[in-house]
Amino acid sequence: MNRQKLQRVLVTSASSVLAIIVALVICAVILLITGKDPVKAYSTLFGAAGETKVLQGMFNRATPLMISAAAVAIGFKMNLFNIGVEGQMRVALLSTAVIGGAVNLPAPLHIAFCFVVAMATGALWSGIAGWLKVKRNVNEVISTIMLNFIALSVVAWSFDTFFRLDKEGESTSLLVKTKDLPRSAWFPDLVDRRLNGMLIVAIVILILFWVLVWKTKFGFQLRASGANSGAARATGVNPKRMIFISMLISGALAGLVGMRALMGDVHAYQNNLAEQQGFNGIAVALLGRNHPVGIFFSALLFGFLGEASGRLQLEDIPKEIVTIMTGIIVLAVVIINEAVKRWDDRRIQRRAAAMVEAVS
């Protein structure tokens, strides 16, 4: 029994590992064609794995990716595509910076308060898409994409109009942000300035995700609805309710994605905070096969690539090769997964039939 489980795990990870290999190979070819040395590139990249600074940076970058991937993965379990993590995250960022900055509470309470605000506003934004899907049957892919852009505009305008604070006497370009969060809302670092404690929060979120989805009644019904809505419906699970709730949860998690940057680093909202975490979260979720353990390692991989890519500049290799790698990984993992799954399903079927024959 345990052996079968191990086999399943191996097969599932196989498509992810294969995808990474495919990406490495294709990127090596790209490097060669454009006159760069792939051996030098990869040795620089992976050689950086030995440095503590790089490893700390890896965990730091992985933190928002883990949360973002969890947000996306909850949606996937219900066959929902929440592409709106970007927008939900942004709305939560500004709201938390402003509301969290407006109160003063003792430290642990203040941090909890900020989390609540972030989750509530994220859920509010995703709830719009959820409501549209349930009540008006609007495809959530389109609505979340639209809401991303609307969030961009709304947040930029609100920030510009109401909340920005230009530092006196300095140029207004990069340092424009909201009022700083009070110290009680600063999330403590694990390693000063290098690794923020939000990593712990991210890991806790992954654990809670695992518990919710695989250990609770609700999680079971969620997975059943996503796997076979007809069967779930026949046992009385209300599909619309499930859709709406999972969009809310997804949005709540999305709201927390930016918190490391906000509460652990910059301590105020500025316009370029935590960009692209939404789409990268999708990549992490896909590579991690929507499972917390997979997400954890995928987030680390992407975090590592992001951190170590800086080293490539020193060797005159554009670090953007890493972005290309990410894109190829995403495409490759879903293609390979389809093929591998089909092969593995057939294998399991044959084995089961054979074992039953043997017994009878």
Q: Which two tokens stand for residue 228?
A: 């076979």
User: Which residue of 238, 240, 293, 315 would you call a contact of another protein, by CB under 8 A?
Assistant: 238
52 in contact with another protein (CB under 8 A)? no
**Closest of 266, 261, 89 to residue 178, by C-alpha:** 266
137 exposure class (CB count in 10 Å sphere: 0-12, 13-18, 19+): exposed
Residue 321 DSSP symbol = H
Shortest Å, Cβ 132 to another protein: 6
3-class state of residue 195 by DSSP: strand
Shortest Å, Cβ 27 to another protein: 10
173 in contact with another protein (CB under 8 A)? no
Nearer to another protein, 153 or 172 (CB): 153
230 in contact with another protein (CB under 8 A)? yes
Site string for another protein, 316-355 (x = CB under 8 A): --x-xxxxxxxxx-xx--xx--xx-----x--xx-xxx-x
Altogether, the residues listed in the chain come to a count of 360
6 in contact with another protein (CB under 8 A)? no
C-beta of residue 284 within 8 angstroms of C-beta of residue 62: no
User: Which residue of 108, 234, 272, 314 would you call a contact of another protein, by CB under 8 A?
Assistant: 234
Q: Under rule CB under 8 A, which residues in 110-149 are in contact with another protein?
A: 132, 136-139, 141-143, 145-147, 149
C-beta of residue 99 within 8 angstroms of C-beta of residue 118: no
Nearer to another protein, 56 or 121 (CB): 121
Site string for another protein, 7-46 (x = CB under 8 A): -----------------------x---xx-----------
Q: Which two tokens stand for residue 145?
A: 């994409």
| Inter-axis angle of helices 239-256 and 217-227, nearest 10 | 110
